[in-house]
C-alpha cells in the first residue's frame, strides 16, 4: 500500500505531466498567433502608444506582471516601455466599485486612459469576466485594439473581439493550467518585443 509521501509524489508527477500536455497542445494551437499578438503590441509601442492591462485574481497578477516587464525590463537592457495595469490603484478601484458597479472597474479606466492606437491586454481564464468584457467594449469605443488571453472555449470575450484584435487561448480546462499558459504567453510576448527593440 503506497504511503503518503508516495501518493504526494505521484500527484506532483501528474501535475507536471498535465502542465506539459497543456503546453504542447497550446503551442500547436497558437504558435503563429503568438507572433501576431507580439506584432500587435510592437506596432502599438513603435508608434508611441501604450498597453493597458486588466484581469481579476490571478489574472490581475498577470496583468501587473506584464506591465512591470514592459516598464522595467524582461531579460535585457533596453528603454522603458509605456504600460499601465488597471488593477493596482486601490482608491480608483474602490471608488468605481462603490459609485458604479464592479463590472465597470476596468471600463471606466479605459475610458479615461485609453487612446486610439493603444492596446488593451484583457485576461480571463474563463473568458467570461464581466468587468473584462466591459473593458473590451470600452477599448473598441476608444479606437483601441484588444489582445485577449483566454482559456476553455474563449467565453464571451472571444465573441467580442474585432477582426483586428487577437486572442491567445490556452488549450486547457483547469484554471491552474490556463494560468500557467497565460504566464508563458506573457513571457513569449516580452521576449519577442525585446528582440524587436534590440535587433
Q: Which residues are annotated as a binding site for substrate?
A: 56-58, 69, 98-99, 124-126, 129, 179
**Angle, alpha carbons 169-73-144 (nearest 5°):** 50
Task: Please state the residue numbers annotated as binding site.
Answer: 56-58, 65, 69, 98-99, 124-126, 129, 179, 187
Listed in sequence order, the DSSP H helices in the chain are 4-46, 58-71, 90-99, 107-113, 130-141, 155-160, 175-198
Grid cell, residue 113, equals 486612459
The SS3 call for residue 147 is strand
Element (H, E) at 174: none
Sign of the dihedral defined by the CA atoms of residues 170, 147, 61, 35, in that order: positive
Task: Please state the residue numbers annotated as binding site for Zn(2+).
Answer: 65, 69, 179, 187
DSSP 71: H
| Residue 48 half-sphere exposure toward CB, CA atoms < 13 A | 0
Amino acid at each position: 500500500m503506497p504511503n503518503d509521501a508516495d501518493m504526494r509524489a505521484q500527484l506532483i508527477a501528474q501535475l507536471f505531466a498535465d502542465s506539459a500536455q497543456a503546453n504542447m497542445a497550446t503551442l500547436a494551437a497558437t504558435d503563429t498567433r503568438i507572433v501576431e499578438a507580439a506584432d500587435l503590441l510592437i506596432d502599438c509601442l513603435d508608434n508611441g502608444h501604450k498597453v493597458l492591462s486588466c484581469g481579476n485574481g490571478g489574472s490581475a497578477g498577470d496583468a501587473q506582471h506584464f506591465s512591470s516587464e514592459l516598464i522595467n525590463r524582461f531579460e535585457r537592457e533596453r528603454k522603458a516601455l509605456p504600460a499601465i495595469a488597471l488593477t493596482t490603484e486601490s482608491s480608483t478601484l474602490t471608488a468605481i466599485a462603490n459609485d458604479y458597479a464592479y463590472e465597470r472597474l476596468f471600463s471606466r479606466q479605459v475610458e479615461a486612459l485609453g487612446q486610439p492606437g493603444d492596446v488593451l491586454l484583457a485576461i480571463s481564464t474563463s473568458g467570461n469576466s464581466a468587468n473584462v468584457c466591459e473593458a473590451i467594449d470600452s477599448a473598441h469605443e476608444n479606437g483601441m485594439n484588444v489582445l485577449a488571453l483566454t482559456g476553455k472555449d474563449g467565453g464571451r470575450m472571444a465573441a467580442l473581439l474585432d477582426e483586428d484584435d487577437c486572442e491567445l487561448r490556452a488549450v486547457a480546462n483547469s484554471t491552474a493550467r490556463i494560468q500557467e499558459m497565460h504566464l508563458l504567453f506573457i513571457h513569449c510576448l516580452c521576449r519577442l518585443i525585446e528582440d524587436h527593440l534590440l535587433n
